[in-house]
Amino acid sequence: MLHALADGSRIWIRPIRPDDGPRLSAAVGRLSEESRRRRFLAAKPRLTAAELRYLTDVDGVDHLAFVALAGPEPGAPIVGVARCVRLAPGSPEAEFAIVVGDALQGLGLGRLLVSELAAAAAAVGIRRFSATTLADNIALVRLLDGLGGAVEIRAAQGAVREVVAELPEAAGARRLVA
């Protein structure tokens, strides 16, 4: 799906595919050290072959992921990724992660990716995203808060904390029942 960012850039968002492995590896390689640290909670210079398989071979039910591409052509670079993985099969909660290329941060790409992912997740019964993040990652908290559901920040353990966000579709469905 085509989207425009705040600076007028055109971005295509679609579900990740198994053949995206080389482009995903290149995208991680282009991230600044700080962006990699925020995404992986540690230094991560590259992804292993096993990690690339795991990150690109999703089932669309228990593991969902969307990529943002810098163009519509087949070789366009990946410039952002959002994913969620259920905590257990059938669980209403999924672990959430996102990364946006440094050059496009602050232009609304994160909001677009999380919105696409949240809609797809809600459609398969996921009601909450949980994210383990560095305690100083305010951008992630704002991003999840922008979904419109309740957001809970759980106690930090050292430099890490957990953020849990209710998906708005889940909140609306519950209100109709109550």
Cβ pair 53, 60 in contact under 8 A: no
- CA-based nearest residue to 25, from 1, 59, 48, 8: 48
20-40: pLDDT as tens digits? 999 999 999 999 888 888 888
What per-residue confidence (pLDDT) applies to 75?
A: 87
- What pTM was estimated for this model as a whole? 0.88
Sign of CA dihedral 164, 120, 58, 33: negative
List the chain residues with pLDDT less than 70: 169-178
Number of structural domains (the chain) is 1
Sign of CA dihedral 24, 33, 44, 138: negative
d(C-alpha 120, C-alpha 41), whole Å = 26
- The CATH number of residue 173's host domain is 3.40.630.30
Containing structural domain, residue 109: 2-177
